[in-house]
Amino acid sequence: MSSEAIAVLGAGSYGTCLAVLFGNAGHRVSLYCRGQASAAAIEAARENAAYLPGHKLPASVQVTSDLAAAVHGKRFVLGVTPSHGTREVLARAAAALDPDAIVINASKGLEDGTLASIDAVYRDVLPARIAARATYLSGPTFASELAAGMPAAIVLAGHDRQTCAEAQQALSHLHFRIYTTDDVLGVLIGGALKNVIAIGAGVSDGLGFGSNSRVALITRGLAEITRFGVALGAHAQTFAGLSGMGDLVLTCSGDASRNRRVGLALGRGKSMSEILGEMTQVAEGVKTTKVAKQLAGKLGIEAPITDAMYAIMHAGVPVREAIHALLTRPIRSERD
């Protein structure tokens, strides 16, 4: 495998883990960190102690707070910022991108206000040729496990088949298996909305409802996500894959899931203000729930789990009251 020049934009847990992953695979990586002091501290320690402790950065990874320098001359540029920062960071990076750069999104969420999926944001802020060739990475991957070299499978979506194939070939290796698809919207919707369902799964567990309840919520959550996706023009089959069912199951059941932990805390009686005050990392599902509720209204689809999570997190409805409303909805056919 040849060595590639890669920029990773975002030094949270997932961005750092991708830098470690690609650095260990022999690639030359620039890891962009927004704060100058934070970037210098990570570079000096060769470890991101705040977000990915215990995983040393390979020698081929350099940390910088200079965004233009990070992306200049790089063949692959991965956007791994929280979704609410995607527009600002990619817009600033756009002018410094190589005309042949392949931009790969690894953020998961929907944009507040516009209700846009991330591919729409990319089309707004990137040069037309780069946006047309952009790809979107999503799937069941926890940062600490990837950084430790544990095997994982993920999906890369894009409209340009050749670009997808180039990225797949260059970035796959023994413990990181990349599949490809042309269903960009399906991959992005699955990656965004699974976080909403994961908060619900955490609420269920926090209330002590047990395995039956969790599995019921995951299964109906998958139906709800698929309903969103199909209404937007995605392929239903995508949601049975890595970026749909795979990521959903992981995020709803894994102890490392930040969104599940938010739900657990809610189910155990903590308020949203308490939970957010204690968090040092972003749980995307909190913001995505608000956007998803608005999107469901725009599309005219039923989204009962999203409605329940919105009621709890953004409308101040008590947890048990919201869950009671969810459980007492009219019964229906499973295929509806």
Question: Would you say residue 336 lies in a domain?
Answer: no
Answer whether 164's CB lies under 8 Å from 158's CB: yes
Answer whether 308's CB lies under 8 Å from 322's CB: yes
Residue among 133, 221, 227 at smallest CA distance from 184: 133
Q: Torsions phi, psi of 249, nearest 5?
A: -60, -45
Question: Would you say residue 242 lies in a domain?
Answer: yes
Question: Would you say residue 333 lies in a domain?
Answer: no
pLDDT in tens, 205-223: 999 999 999 999 999 999 9
Q: Return d(Cα 161, Cα 181) in angstroms, integer.
A: 9
Please indicate, yes or no, whether residues 175 and 30 belong to a single structural domain of this protein: yes
- Residue 208 confidence (pLDDT): 97
Q: 143 CB contacts (<8 Å, ≥6 apart)?
A: 13, 14, 16, 17, 51, 52, 256
pLDDT in tens, 143-167: 999 999 999 999 999 999 999 999 9
Catalytic residue among 74, 108, 194, 293: 194
What 3-state class would DSSP assign to 182? coil
Please indicate, yes or no, whether residues 30 and 71 belong to a single structural domain of this protein: yes
Tokens of 120: 């729409």
Total residues belonging to the chain: 336
Domain that holds residue 300: 191-327
- Residue 1 confidence (pLDDT): 60
Please indicate, yes or no, whether residues 128 and 95 belong to a single structural domain of this protein: yes
What 3-state class would DSSP assign to 56? strand
| List of the chain residues with pLDDT < 50 | none
Q: Return d(Cα 91, Cα 111) in angstroms, integer.
A: 15
- The CA distances from residue 218 to 29, 114, 210, 248, 303, in Å, are 37, 27, 13, 7, 13
Tokens of 315: 């409308």
> Is 56 among the catalytic positions?
no
Please indicate, yes or no, whether residues 155 and 204 belong to a single structural domain of this protein: no
- The CA distances from residue 163 to 78, 94, 135, in Å, are 14, 18, 8
Please indicate, yes or no, whether residues 314 and 210 belong to a single structural domain of this protein: yes
Q: Which CATH number covers residue 107?
A: 3.40.50.720
Question: Would you say residue 153 lies in a domain?
Answer: yes
Phi/psi region, residue 6 (left: phi>0; alpha: psi -120 to 50; beta: rest), is: beta
Please indicate, yes or no, whether residues 147 and 225 belong to a single structural domain of this protein: no
Tokens of 194: 């699974």
For the chain, the domain total comes to 2
Q: Return d(Cα 122, Cα 91) in angstroms, integer.
A: 9
Q: Torsions phi, psi of 23, nearest 5?
A: -65, -40
